[in-house]
């Protein structure tokens, strides 16, 4: 896909070893690739910005939803279904807004159409100001 690459984030990080720990009895999503020396997860680049593996996955899922869009509930299920610990319902919303802040320097924006539980998220080309 255009504008996509994977590279290691610069600087030292506290993220060491595999995430989550413990066991989970369901299908496992492959862990993000990590540096074999320090265990720090590689960051992914989308539209010229560095994103954590989770934020990159969220952006990929919203983009894949296309013209249908995706609800916050559907996105929450898709992102967290294979994780051993449940996350709060507002977690996805917070990530979406953080991704939008990071996309500010690009031509892209995440937008919600509708309100409340009926809202659907889309990746759109930013309007020229």
d(C-alpha 42, C-alpha 84), whole Å: 22
Question: Span 105-112, mean pLDDT?
Answer: 91
Instruction: Provide the CATH number for the domain around residue 72.
Output: 1.10.10.10
Mean pLDDT check: name the lowest of 52-61, 75-84, 93-102, 104-113: 75-84
In a domain, 7, yes or no: no
Residues in a beta bridge with 71: 120
pTM to 2 decimal places:
0.65
In a domain, 109, yes or no: yes
d(C-alpha 88, C-alpha 129), whole Å: 35
Highest mean pLDDT: which range of 83-87, 90-94, 100-104, 112-116:
100-104
In a domain, 108, yes or no: yes
In a domain, 41, yes or no: no
Count the domains in the chain.
Answer: 1
In a domain, 39, yes or no: no
Q: Tally the C-alpha atoms within 13 A of residue 76's C-alpha that lie toward its C-beta.
A: 15
Structural domain range at position 101: 53-125
In a domain, 79, yes or no: yes
């Amino acid at each position: 896909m255009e504008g996509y690459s994977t590279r290691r984030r610069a600087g030292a990080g506290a993220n060491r070893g595999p995430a989550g720990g413990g066991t989970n009895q369901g299908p496992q999503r492959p862990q993000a690739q990590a540096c074999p020396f320090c265990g720090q997860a590689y960051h992914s680049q989308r539209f010229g910005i560095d994103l954590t593996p989770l934020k990159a996955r969220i952006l990929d899922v919203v983009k894949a939803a296309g013209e249908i869009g995706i609800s916050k509930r559907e996105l929450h299920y898709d992102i967290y279904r294979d994780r051993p610990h449940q996350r709060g319902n507002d977690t996805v919303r917070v990530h979406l807004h953080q991704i939008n802040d990071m996309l500010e320097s690009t031509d892209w924006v995440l937008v919600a159409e509708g309100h409340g539980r009926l809202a659907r998220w889309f990746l759109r080309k930013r309007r020229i100001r």
